[in-house]
């Protein structure tokens, strides 16, 4: 499956999709340090610097058919670390990503953002995709669900056009279509608000030191490999991983790595990047669906 990666960062999310068996044929990233990393790690991949300069026509001319458009569009308009200004924030770039999706018309879309988007703009994102002919699934899961030793909750949006979707998406996106869907749009808004209320206790971090990941854990039974004694048997290299000790002590380390070249740029890239095994997991599910669909075309 051929992937156009938007907001590529240092390529960590792209690496996960590659591990799932996908091919990264195009990337777009505005950060200069990350551009250097992408040039080093993906030397043959065609690249753009600014998502606002990417057009469907150029993508088709340079890349040909695109099966997947993937991107973690900027989280600053929705993050609790900022002012959560949503669409009034000039860093709100979902409209640009959706414009590219509408012009490129991939079969699959993978979007990623912070949980703060749920009560601010998730409704609009899903509405845009559904009007364009996509069926959407939205998931919230932490990095430790895929084996990473930290929480890092993220919202993942997976959209699929399918055979019927292609007939819809071949028509240009028009505001009049959105108006015709206003009733369902309002109903969906109420569902999203309900999700937001129920997920409000799940925080990616807290202002109280030493409690990162503790707020909103809920029951322990939903953790992979949970053994009921504060240890996760799904993680670790030959042993048990005590996530409670890690989350209690890790914030006190100060996140300083002395003597490392480009330390600030590296930390920024890691902070903004996606966890490799999270995108790998999602990519694997898409590949599995694709293979099953190919084996049973009439299902």
Q: Which are the catalytic amino acids?
A: 75
> Is the Cα torsion angle 246, 249, 251, 254 positive or negative in sign?
negative
| CA dist., res. 11 & res. 38, Å (int) | 6
DSSP state of 172: P
Listed residue (181, 130, 180) closest to 160, CA to CA: 130
Q: Return the beta strands (E) in 53-107 as ranges.
A: 68-71
Q: Which residues of 269-290 are buried (b: 16+ CB within 10 A; e: fewer)?
A: beebbbbbbbbbbbbbebeeeb
The half-sphere exposure of 251 on its side-chain side, counting CA atoms within 13 A, is 15
| CA dist., res. 290 & res. 41, Å (int) | 27
Q: Return the beta strands (E) in the chain as ranges.
A: 2-6, 23-28, 46-48, 68-71, 108-113, 135-141, 154-160
95: burial class by Cβ within 10 Å (0-12, 13-18, 19+)? middle
Q: Which residues of 227-265 are buried (b: 16+ CB within 10 A; e: fewer)?
A: eeeebbeebeeeeebbbeebbbeebeeeeeeeeeeeeeb
Using DSSP's 3-state secondary structure scheme, residue 46 falls into: strand
Asked whether the beta carbons of 149 and 106 are under 8 A apart, the reply is no
| CA dist., res. 181 & res. 113, Å (int) | 25
The helix/strand count (H/E) of the chain reads as 11, 7
């Amino acid at each position: 499956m051929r992937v156009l990666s938007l907001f590529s960062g240092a390529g960590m999310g792209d690496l996960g999709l590659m591990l799932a068996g996908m091919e990264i044929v195009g990337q777009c990233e505005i950060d200069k340090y990350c551009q250097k990393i992408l040039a080093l790690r993906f030397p043959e991949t065609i690249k753009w610097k600014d998502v606002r300069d990417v057009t469907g026509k150029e993508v088709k001319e340079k890349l040909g058919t695109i099966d997947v458009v993937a991107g973690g569009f900027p989280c600053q308009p929705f993050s609790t670390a900022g002012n959560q200004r949503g669409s009034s924030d000039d860093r709100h770039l979902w409209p640009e990503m959706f414009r590219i999706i509408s012009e490129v018309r991939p079969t699959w879309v993978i979007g990623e953002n912070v949980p703060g988007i749920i009560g601010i703009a998730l409704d609009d994102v899903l509405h845009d995709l559904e009007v364009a002919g996509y069926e959407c699934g939205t998931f919230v899961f932490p990095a430790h669900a895929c084996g990473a030793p930290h929480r890092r909750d993220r919202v993942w949006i997976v959209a699929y056009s399918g055979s019927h979707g292609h007939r819809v998406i071949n028509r240009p996106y028009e505001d009049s279509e959105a108006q015709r869907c206003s009733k369902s749009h309002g109903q969906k808004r109420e569902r999203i608000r309900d999700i937001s209320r129920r997920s409000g206790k799940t925080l990616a971090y807290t202002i109280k030191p030493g409690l990162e990941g503790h707020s909103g854990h809920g029951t322990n039974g939903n953790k992979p490999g949970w053994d009921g004694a504060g240890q996760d048997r799904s993680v670790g290299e030959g042993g048990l991983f005590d996530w409670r000790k890690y989350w209690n002590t890790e914030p006190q380390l100060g996140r300083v790595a002395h003597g490392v070249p480009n330390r600030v740029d590296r930390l920024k890239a890691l902070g903004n990047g996606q966890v490799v095994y999270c995108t790998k997991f999602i990519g694997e599910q898409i590949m599995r669906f694709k293979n099953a669909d190919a084996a049973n075309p009439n299902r």
